[in-house]
Amino acid sequence: MALLEIQGLCGGIRDQEIIKGIDLTINGGEVHAIMGPNGSGKSTFGKILAGHEEYQKTTGEVKFLGKDLFELTPEERANAGMFLAFQYPVEIPGVSNAYFLRAALNERRKYSGQSEMSAGAFRKFMNEKMKLVEMDPDLAKRAVNEDFSGGEKKRNEIFHMAVLEPLLSILDETDSGLDIDALKIVARGVNQQRNDSNAMIVITHYQRLLDYIVPDYVHVMYQGRIVKSGTKELALELESEGYEWIRQEAGE
Amino acid sequence: MEAIENLAQQEYKEGWVTDIEMETTPPGLNEDIIRFISSKKNEPEFLLEWRLKAYNHWLKLKEPKWQFMEHPAINYQDIKYYAAPKNTPKYNSLEEVDPELLETYSKLGIPLEEQKVLAGVAVDAVFDSVSVHTTFKDKLGDLGIVFSSFSEAAQEHPELIEQYLGSVVPYRDNYFAALNSAVFSDGSFCYIPPGVRCPMELSTYFRINTAGTGQFERTLIIADEGSYVSYLEGCTAPMRDENQLHAAVVELVALKNSQIKYSTVQNWYPGNEEGKGGIYNFVTKRGTCKGDNAKISWTQVETGSAITWKYPSVILQGDNSIGEFYSVALTRNKQVADTGTKMVHIGQNTRSTVVSKGISAGEGQNVYRGKIQVSKKADGAKNYTQCDSMLIGDRCGAHTFPYIDVSNHCANVEHEASTARISEDQLFYCKTRGIPTEDAISMIINGFCKEVFQELPMEFAVEAKKLLGISLEGSVG
């Protein structure tokens, strides 16, 4: 069974249709990169999948682990194994990272019929994950993203991902705002989590991230559609040619 | 994480009325009513005189109009100023107590049975206007601690009452204090002797029961030199249709090197969604750090009442004395809260800390009104004030009126304020981690109130967190 099957997905915000027909299948063990110029609908695509209230699908079908995705609330999608790493991670003052993640993990476990993890067991589990993604232990004690630098926020997203062990991770422009060192740490953290059962959608502008998180497939979005798909070589082509030839090919 | 109660859809849990035959005065207020109240309680002469002076002063006053909210005019002649259960003498054992009354207490969750000694909380249960039973009085008595109803204390310790009553809140202080001083029926009295640390948290429960009965509680707590006491005040009230006035007065006196910690979790009936009914909570609370190195801390979590109007304050008379005010006030539907504190710095090197968290939802209006006053001779005074507002939805309001009045040239006064909303982005962020909306709101609000909750005694903190569980459909954004 494919992790994610998308057929003819159209959708957008209020009266504006942004996604105009996407077909995509993602299987376990795969990393798909989504690239495209500004305004192509990359972020919207991620938000529709994750269930952001402001974005609606108009037509099309999406199956997540064989189930109709749109029958699930955003939190149910998360509990079922979907994860969205935000482009602009949100601050939650007064709520520690550790407390927040334990609550999230236990929601997930409850959903799948497992018992809750005790505070002690969670602390141990969390420490392992911190090592895995090279996370500063101090940041775990602090309130979620409060007063974090841009880089720290992005690394926190990857830490959240590690703790929740999702089946399908959508990384929305995780590389934006990162210097080269932070980029490498983030990429290492992501790569440490790749396995044969999970999959990732890596949404990015620039090819650079894909040097470190090597994709199996690259898709180029333009005006709400996937106009070209290929392997990692496609990303390199875009890097040297820019998006102009994509526009030309699309018949501008 | 515990499931959060859907307060908006759940009937107010404490909505029931006890059926016992009450002895009540007819509605209205005059000197005869006051004499009646005083004689019912066998009060010493000085107390009756004090009441009458207060009453005559009250007659000259007009209700204040500077507050933020409006309320329908209160007809003071339409209130019954006294209500007592039929059998008023004190009981030695619970078997003598009216069983319906006991059921009231158990419904309120008050552990009056002897077995509850293990809970370690002495309870002075106030049933409307008269105190019926005081637990653990004897145990505290061994330490020399007096914890009883105010009425009892007036008879057994009149000298303490005479010395301290009105010393922190004189009857001239304000309109409602004058009224309370004239007609107060009962409350708590507490005296901690020198050097004694009260071994348990003292607590009081209130209940407004009979229709039209104003609740005029009077509490006086005296901590003698070097002593310590932690006092909990928690209230519940039944569902009513007519508004009920609650004009209490609390006075705290902290002598040299002593400490009083006063915590309140208030859950009075707030009125329904249309703003009908609900308690008016117009309270004067004040403490004086009379001696050097004394400390008074007020911690409150206010979630109820149609209108909350109170400014727990501290007069920092002694050198090095400390005043603290930690508050969480929640207003939703059509509730209004005009609350805050006054810190008056008089002695040398005095310190005050104010942390106020206001949460507004629905059409609730939350007002922080605070005054930091540093008098001319108060060298080395320090104040830190933090006033944070959280707005949920787009129809509520948060208003801040900070007054800073400094007459000394080496005072250090800091004021920080912030306004926040629970944004859709925050909620979506939580959802993508698998946390549903209600839990997310609760978590965010608990995080917002953390600094105040950590000042509460443990069991109160748990109750406070529960009280803040909210379900607000369509009011986030």
Q: In angstroms, rounded to a whole number, what is the distance separating the alpha carbons of residues B284 and B105?
A: 26
Q: Do B431 and A51 touch (CB under 8 A)?
A: yes
Whether residue B412 lies inside any domain: the answer is yes
Could you please report the per-residue DSSP string of B39-76? HHTT--HHHHHHHHHHHHHHHH------SS---PPP-G
**How many whole angstroms from its chain centre is CA B461?**
16
Record the tokens describing residue B167, joined without a space: 């010393």
Task: Give the type of residue at B262.
Answer: Y
CATH number for position A8:
3.40.50.300
Task: List CB contacts (< 8 A) between B420 and chain A.
Answer: 93
Model confidence at A248, pLDDT cuts 50, 70, 90, reads: confident
pLDDT digits (tens, 9 = 90+) for B174-205: 999 999 999 998 888 999 999 999 988 887 64
Do residues B99 and B105 make contact, with C-beta atoms less than 8 angstroms apart?
A: no
Domain count, chain B: 1
Record the tokens describing residue B118, joined without a space: 């293990």
Query: Any idea which of A242-251, B23-32, B93-102, B137-146 has the lowest mean pLDDT?
Result: B93-102
Whether residue B346 lies inside any domain: the answer is yes
Q: In angstroms, rounded to a whole number, what is the distance separating the alpha carbons of residues B319 and B347?
A: 5
pLDDT digits (tens, 9 = 90+) for B299-318: 998 887 888 899 999 999 99
The pTM score is 0.79
**Strand A143-144 relative to strand A92-96: parallel, antiparallel, unpaired?**
antiparallel
The residue range of the domain holding A32 is 4-249
Q: In angstroms, rounded to a whole number, what is the distance separating the alpha carbons of residues B120 and A129?
A: 43
Gap from B436 CA to chain A (nearest CA, Å):
6
Other Cβ atoms within 10 Å of A131 Cβ, number: 12
pLDDT of residue B90: 43
**How many whole angstroms from its chain centre is CA B414?**
26
Please name the member of A91, A103, A143 whose beta carbon is closest to the beta carbon of B435.
A103
B450 touches chain A (CB under 8 A): yes
pLDDT digits (tens, 9 = 90+) for B429-446: 999 999 998 889 888 988
Please name the member of A91, A93, A104 whose beta carbon is closest to the beta carbon of B433.
A104
Model confidence at B136, pLDDT cuts 50, 70, 90, reads: low
Do residues B17 and B213 make contact, with C-beta atoms less than 8 angstroms apart?
A: no
pLDDT of residue A63: 96
Q: Do A89 and B1 touch (CB under 8 A)?
A: no
Domain count, chain A: 1
Question: What three-state secondary structure class fits A163?
Answer: helix
pLDDT of residue B109: 53
Burial (CB count <10 Å: 0-12, 13-18, 19+), residue B99: exposed
Do residues B349 and B380 make contact, with C-beta atoms less than 8 angstroms apart?
A: yes
Whether residue B470 lies inside any domain: the answer is no
Q: In angstroms, rounded to a whole number, what is the distance separating the alpha carbons of residues B315 and B253?
A: 10
What is the rounded average pLDDT of the residues B86-91? 43
B420 touches chain A (CB under 8 A): yes
pLDDT of residue A112: 92
Whether residue B253 lies inside any domain: the answer is yes
Whether residue B15 lies inside any domain: the answer is no
Closest-CA residue of A relative to B450 is A94
pLDDT of residue B18: 47
A46 touches chain B (CB under 8 A): no
Q: In angstroms, rounded to a whole number, what is the distance separating the alpha carbons of residues A84 and A48?
A: 11
What percentage of chain B has pLDDT greater than the value 70? 77
**Strand B244-246 relative to strand B218-223: parallel, antiparallel, unpaired?**
unpaired
B448 touches chain A (CB under 8 A): yes
pLDDT of residue B101: 53
The residue range of the domain holding B293 is 22-423
